[in-house]
Structure 1
Amino acid sequence: MANIPSKARVVIVGGGIIGCSVAYHLAKKGWQDIVLLERKRLTSGTTWHAAGLIAQLRATANMTKLARYSQELYGNLEAETGVATGFKRCGSITVALTEHRREEILRQAGMARSFGVDVEEISPQEVKARYEHLNIDGVKAGVWLPKDGQGDPANIALALAKGARNMGARIIENTAVTGLRKQGRSVQGVEWQAEGESGYIEADMVVNCAGMWGHEMGRMAGVNVPLQACEHFYIVTEAIENLTQMPVLRVPDECAYYKEDAGKMLLGAFEPIAKPWAMDGIPKDFEFDQLPEDFEHFEPILEQACARLPMLETAGIHTFFNGPESFTPDDAYHLGLAPELDNFWVAAGFNSIGIQSAGGAGMALAEWMDSGEKPFDLGDVDIARMQPFQGNKQYLFERSKETLGLLYADHYPYRQKATARGIRRSPVHHQLLENGAVMGELAGWERANWFADEGQERAYKYDWQGQNWFNNTAAECRAVRENVGIYDMSSFGKIRVEGRDAVRFINYVAGAECDVEIGKIVYTQFLNNAGGIEADVTITRLSETAYLVVTPAATRLADQVWMQRHVGDYAVVITDVTAAEATLAVMGPNARKLLQAVSPNDFSNAHNPFGTAQEIEIGMGLARVHRVSYVGELGWEVYISADQAGHVFEALWDAGQGMDARLCGMHMMDSCRIEKGFRHFGHDITCEDHVLEAGLGFAVSKTKENFIGRDGVARKREAGLENRMLQFVMEDPSAFLFHNEPILRDGQIVGYLSSGAYGHHLGAAIGLGYVPCAGESAADVLASSYQIEVAGVNMAARASLKPAYDPKSERVKA
């Protein structure tokens, strides 16, 4: 076809609202030679039938920032392009029908305030005043967001497309991408087919915006894009007399949302158990299509809705709609540079929030593509968070049944996924279960989160206060603080870096000095050019030419890819060896005594001081012990080849019986680490948090000449800190903190908690969070009074720069 070029700077695959947004924002950046290919017509997949709810508040500050940007963009698009977007700020109301949901929406309101979103908690009577048609029986509370809105999804997408065209982008419909050509870690271009013709476009970059075809499109490139299409239902009534513009209404306890549009009412649902669709592939001719009605599936939602909005009882149904939308394994969309390739980008899997996300997602991706660096922390949605196995179709089928319903389920802290479990298991998994383990899941790993007492139900009972495992975790913390505890860390990522340039390479990617003696362990970060934290790791020198990098379980792939992308000419091999070794942590004042009971080796300070590793005999096997601690106690991480892990566990556990040793879980580790002020990657430290402002300057070399982030650290040292991370200990022991609670300094909101947990040894909830401090000394910052807002109540907290527990770290060096 004459209008399809043979070469482009970027080819965007998919003409829904996401693809149109990426094209628009790249064009706005001044990019030329932008080509968007759409297999059928623009918006013909999911965009055309989306409900068009446009909310500001998301689960994190940056996701909220992107949603707010979308709103502002859509408000101006009509004037810019002449295409009516139907965007209006009608506000939104969310109501709670239970006390648990009431606490959730009040906590969400606090989070909104800390993110700078206009929000107001309202009583049932105030809900009724704003939404006269609502039956408020059972309504406990409501939250009002006056700047939320709604719009016409297809027209917003067409406006973005027109804006992109006006700036020179080429948008070509009825042209399917049938293949990609690759060389090494690069895509060379795309093969296309249209109206009996075919061809090839050479491309510098390719962006997968293929929506529910994104999984298939990723497979063409050898890229893992885990998402699954599910049926999504809504009804539209006939015109209702005298119905005027109403706010968007959400009743999550009844799985329902309501939108007035042109005198009709739309009722949509996120039912608890969803219906995955197109397991054998999406039909080739799918375009502006809908799926067969399933009234029986929708009927329970409709019955509750008729009671909640009595006007629906007499309103005729104009449309019963069932259309597919794509869902990811964790209900967060996929954005960013694919781990498998260095020029293949992804923006797909928007979990029914594509309209409100598209503007911000397109902007963020365009910034990233243009500069080569993330514009701010996108860890929640970065495609690199997905594990390779999560592209498995059976896994996606099972998990997607749950994820759609989780959008409106109670968002309890510590809530565990119920579906698609048991996939990645530690070598000691069954032994943990035999001893009472209650498992959680992270990145597919089954991990012991807590241990049930004999006769206690081995299951979570969720709450916003102390959950049913509260006392169990308290006992596990006591064991680690006062005696000895054993817990499984096998899920943590282990990456071996080996080769003649291993020392030079590790010193280039890590902030700390890593040219150390064999057996030395270095705590450090991988930094970006600005001095932000890309990874938080320990690095152990195993030999003259080999290191072991230990990472959080969830970021192993991302951390490995970060290293691979910076290899350049360094002669190193980088290998994931996570599954090769199990890791058992032995922590507490009596940790040395327990290890000496099962090993003839020397664990004294003279032979094995803090921050060193040694090879040992243990039981009848062999292991390597690393003397480090994430709980702030004397202890060792014991690395055992997977084949001997069961035996070593038995040796430790049998010897521990005479010492009252206790098996512990991940909740214990989180409680103890926050008492010690240890940062948690992804919450307390991210790519936009400067390593010095995070209080981790001690982990950055002041003498190394060449490492990533060196100049960013030097600039901050010279300019001074703009933020400081503080630890907050609540005065009231009944308060519970999780994360995102507002921080008030002298009565004014200045930030929010990046993480929170209950400190069982200190007897109070503890949070970490950043406080602005430009031009202030540490003493100035600490001279203020601080409060944390918890579910709408401001509660006093003690702030500190040093950890409240063992500030001099004497216990780990005992």
Structure 2
Amino acid sequence: MAEFASARVVIIGGGAVGVSALYHLAKAGWTDCLLLEKNELTAGSTWHAAGNVPTFSSSWSIMNMQRYSAELYRGLGEAVGYPMNYHVTGSVRLGHSRQRLQEFQRVAGMGRYQGMDLEVMTPDEIRGRYPFLETHDLSGGLYDPNDGDLDPAQLTQALATGARQMGARIERFCPVTSVARVNDEWVLETPKGTVRAEIVVNAAGYYAREVGKMFGRDLPMMVMSHQYMLFDTIPELETWSKEVGHKLPLLRDVDSSYYLRQEKNGFNLGPYEANCRAHWHTKDDPFPQDFSFQLFPDDLERLEWHIADAMARVPLLEKAALTKVINGPIPYTPDGNPLIGPMPGVPNAFEACVFTFGICQAGGAGKVLAEWVTECATEWDMWSCDPRRFTGFEDEDYCVKKGMEVYGNEYAIHFPHHAWGEGRDKKLSAVHARTAALGAQFGPYNGWERALWYAAPGDDTAEEAQRVWEREGPWFRAVKAECEAVRDAAGILDLPGFSRFRLSGAGAAEWLSRQITGKLPSIGRLGLAYFADDKGRIVTEMSVARFAEEEFWLITAATAQVHDGDWLRNHLEPGLSLVEETNDWSTQILTGPASREVLAAVSDADLTKGWLTHQSARIAGREVVLMRVSFAGELGWEIHSRTADTLPIWDAVMAAGAPLGLKPFGMFALNSLRIEKGYRAWKGDLSNDYSILQGGLERFVDWTKAEFRGKAALEAEKQRGLSKRFCTLKIEAGELDPPYMSTIWAGDKVVGEVTSGYYGHRVGACIGLGMLRADLNQPGQALEVEIFGSRYSAVVQEDAPMWDPKNTRIRA
């Protein structure tokens, strides 16, 4: 093993993803890379994978990743000189409902923006693509010409061939037995000797949790068994294929939850059943030391309904003899997306693992992982796959329940107002019982249950009622009333879970000033701070409250807890103190024109202090930090209290506010209120797909500072001019609000995208925040926004927000 005694990067795991990471690192010029595989390449989930290569996804970032994979695979075999059986057959997705067709229209619009020609079809058009199909009960379908299938082993070997050609190395039958951090490098022990590395990547598939433990990390994952069935040759299918010269498109009946693929002249049927089975999470079913090239026993009884449904849909399948059943392990995270990116809390370590759809995502995942390693940033915002989106509350029970829920709903539509039922009540606010008694309907934010809206007696709160695209679901009337209460009187929102960090120490102010683009607030004041990367792109947004010359509170989104904490710690200079206080405090938003009067009745605070100030005060005898700020865009305060003091404070404020019209409001109302003010949401409007300047945040840039991260890139961008800029649109959207990444059109040209869209109840209009081609970003510019396949008129608004553009209400 002497020749492998060291490497710049060591990848643990030789499936399609790990080998793709090696290939892309070498392609980026990092050829001193070594992949260690405990068995043979593909021995984990790769060898038994079905090998489907869809581009379809309702996630912008996942679609990017899968599109890249499909493009890479089409030329990979020739590029590296390795034969690959890659069948680009196209695919047909079947829709049984109007809601499903709306999803297809949305994804087709996203695909069109990414350069893919996805086609929404009528039932008759589907029969033209797939003549053996029963279509009598269908509403339509989606055709993807780039879909298909390949041999996973050939893909992996082709990537390995290309990696080796560029100088990267692969050592098979070489398990990593331990990992240690010694003198700022990684020391990996294997049966073949010790390997030292600058950087390590966990690409161990369903073994990733075991590998993660070597780094002191418990990965949020579980393992499902997934079965697919191979059927023998069908003469009619063989004859048809010879006549037309190609295979049938890959068929997915997503509402019945299975795929059906032509396999030679037979079929491959793969269901995702609701009565699914998890493995390796009990004492009776422990995690195996080695499961290489092994399968679970067949378990077809739980698939009977899907088999019957597929035979009714494609009667030709009834004529086929079942020849083989593949029942293999597939890893799942709690949200079904993989882990690609920095290993939380661990230096020079990354993850590229827990892939449910590893074959179709491997190419793009290798690209993303290589960018993380070589550039510390990715071309596309990949928060959907970032390991730091999980924050540690995800215990084994949670992971198993959520993994099973995701598997059983693999093809389900993800509606914007629907909250999934498993893994709930992990974190409850001190006032949860109070808000629940008032009719709160909850949704999880980093595990914290927050009120989404408040139902009145008679409102339909069934989960099924949430499964609509239209804005006027059962919550609409309630959200309207909540927004009007905030506008006319006062509202209170219980907001547990803000991530917060206390920064202090000699030099804290100077250090923080170099991390953010703008100015620091003075003592007793607070402000928004934006963090850029070296390319000037948006990293995160934090509220900064200054308590003393060298002491600050940094407050950020609940879901950003690990992401922002990691970012701060990784850049922190010696001698500075950063203490996380996330679990010690809770927050309530009290806002509306009567909020001062409510506070006056229960607080000793100086309520004449102006906007963007903070102060210590007492409410109901409890100490609080009052911040004069409101994400709702009205006169208001954030009440920050110790968690143990939150309940009596809530009770006191509610009692004082009742005669003044105070009402509780939820996250749906807050979304409406903030969009009317043009306030951005993190990882939607504030994504690292955009620069600080593109995001319309130049007022938060202090060009006079000698130094801040990203300054040179932003100066260069300002000098050459912006390609796109943040905009506010008023949209004549009918009954629908534009989903994330809805396309903006000017005539027959795509000119931008909506990053947030919602109905503004104070202004009585649908509002879209987004990114627009700079030359068209002028007040009054007429445009169109594509929403579920139809275009709706839109007009660019003034740069100021649509509600209270002079900020007179918030400063009252």
TM-score, with length taken from structure 2: 0.95
Question: Does residue 438 of structure 1 match 2:444?
Answer: no
Code of the residue aligned with 2:505 in structure 1: it is: G
- CA offset at residue 139 of structure 1? 0.6
* Correspondence for 1:808 among 799, 806, 809: 806
Distance 1:102 1:733, change over 3 A: closer
Are 1:525 and 2:515 an aligned pair?
A: no
Q: Which amino acid aligns with 2:345?
A: E
Residue type of the alignment partner of 2:429 = S
Match of 2:518 in 1: 512
Q: What is the aligned partner in structure 1 of residue 268 from structure 2?
A: 266
Counterparts of 1:57 and 1:655, CA distance in 2: 52
Counterpart in the other structure of 2:39:
40
Aligned twin of 2:335: 330
Say whether 1:366 aligns with 2:370.
Answer: yes
Seen in structure 2, the aligned counterparts of structure 1 residues 183 and 457 have a Cα distance that, compared at 3 Å, is farther
Q: Deviations over 1:126-146 (max 9, x none)?
A: 001100111112110111111
1:783: Cα distance to partner? 5.4
Cα deviation 1:504-543 (Å, max 9, x = unaligned)? 12112111211x4321101111111121110011100022
When structure 1 is superposed on structure 2, of 288-297 and 65-74 the one drifting more is 65-74
Aligned to 1:47, the other structure's residue is in SS state coil
**1:4 Cα offset (Å):** 6.0
| Partner secondary structure for residue 255 of structure 2 | helix
C-alpha separation in 1, matches of 2:234 and 2:103: 33
Change in 2 beyond 3 A, CA 1:273/1:534? farther
Q: Report the more deviating stretch, 801-810 or 263-272.
A: 801-810
Superposed displacement of residue 170, structure 1: 1.8
Decide whether the 8 Å contact of 1:447 with 1:491 is kept in 2.
Answer: no
Aligned to 1:294: 299
Which residue in the other structure is 2:788 paired with? Answer: 791
Secondary structure class of the residue paired with 1:311: helix
**In the alignment, structure 1 residue 228 sits paired with structure 2 residue 222:** yes
For 2:315 and 2:661, the matched residues in 1 are separated by: 62
- CA drift of 1:286 comes to 0.9
Q: 574-583 or 51-60: which moved more? A: 51-60
Letter in 2 for 1:270: Y
Corresponding position of 1:253: 255
* Residue 459 (structure 1) shift: 4.2
* Contact in 2 for aligned 1:205/1:344 (Cα 8 Å): yes
**1:375-774 correspondence runs (5 A):** 375-390=379-394, 392-460=395-463, 461=465, 462-465=467-470, 466-514=472-520, 516-569=521-574, 571-604=575-608, 608-773=609-774
Amino acid at match of 2:250: V
Aligned residues of 1:113 and 1:742 also touching (Cα < 8 A) = no
Amino acid paired to 1:128: R
Please report how far the alpha carbon of residue 620 of structure 1 lies from its aligned counterpart in structure 2 after TM superposition: 2.1
CA contact (8 A) 1:237 1:319 kept: yes
What secondary structure sits across from 2:43 in the alignment? coil
Given candidates 321, 326, 333, the residue that maps to 1:321 is 326
Q: How far off its partner does 1:187 sit? A: 5.2
Task: Give, in angstroms, the shift of residue 557 of structure 1.
Answer: 1.2
CA distance, structure 2, for counterparts of residue 423 and residue 292 of structure 1: 34
Q: Provide the C-alpha distance between the structure 2 equivalents of 1:654 and 1:454, rounded to a whole number of angstroms.
A: 22
Which is further off, 553-562 or 71-80? Answer: 71-80
The one of 311, 315, 332 equivalent to 1:310 is 315
Q: Give the match's secondary structure for 1:674.
A: helix
Aligned-residue sequence identity (percent) comes to: 33
The alpha-carbon deviation at position 148 of structure 1 amounts to: 1.9
Q: Residue 787 of structure 1 aligns to a residue in which SS?
A: strand
Return 5+ residue gaps in structure 1 as ranges. Answer: none
Q: Residues of 1 paired with 2:637 and 2:419: CA distance?
A: 29
Contact 2:95 2:101 in 1 (8 A): yes
Q: Distance in 2 between matches of 1:374 and 1:104?
A: 28
- Counterpart CA distance in 1 for 2:150 and 2:386 is 27
CA contact (8 A) 1:729 1:764 kept: yes
- Structure 1, residues 565-592: CA drift from partner, whole Å, max 9, x if none? 11134x2111221111110100111111
1:81 is matched with 80
C-alpha change, 1:250 and 1:751, in structure 2 (3 Å) is farther
String of CA shifts for 1:67-104, please: whole Å, max 9, x gaps: 22211211112113332221122111111012221222
Give the AA of the match of 1:478: E
For residues 157 and 526 of structure 1, the distance between their equivalents in structure 2, rounded to whole angstroms, comes to: 39
**Rounded Cα–Cα distance in structure 2 between residues aligned with 1:387 and 1:114:** 33
CA positional deviation for 1:734: 2.5
Rounded to whole Å, the distance in 2 between the matches of 1:123 and 1:32 is 50
Report the Cα distance in structure 2 between the residues aligned to 1:785 and 1:26, rounded to whole angstroms: 45
**Residue 522 of structure 2 aligns to which amino acid in structure 1?**
E
Contact 2:230 2:269 in 1 (8 A): yes
CA distances 1:383-438 after superposition (whole Å, capped 9, x unpaired): 11111122x22221121110112321122113212111111122222221122111
Q: CA deviation at 1:678?
A: 0.9
Q: Which amino acid aligns with 2:279?
A: W
May I ask how many residue pairs the two structures share in their alignment? 797
| Paired residue type of 1:413 | P
SS in 2 for 1:329: coil
CA RMSD across the alignment:
1.7
Name the SS of the counterpart of 1:711 in structure 2.
Answer: helix
- Once residues 761 and 747 of structure 1 are traced to their aligned partners in structure 2, the CA distance between those partners, rounded to angstroms, is 33
Letter in 1 for 2:480: A
Mapped partners of 1:107, 1:813: distance in 2: 40
CA contact (8 A) 1:685 1:694 kept: yes
In the aligned structure 1, how far is the partner of 2:733 from the partner of 2:327?
49
More displaced 10-residue stretch of structure 1: 12-21 or 280-289: 280-289
SS at match of 2:327: strand
Within the alignment, does 1:63 sit opposite 2:62 as a pair? Answer: yes
The alignment partner of 1:497 has SS state of: strand
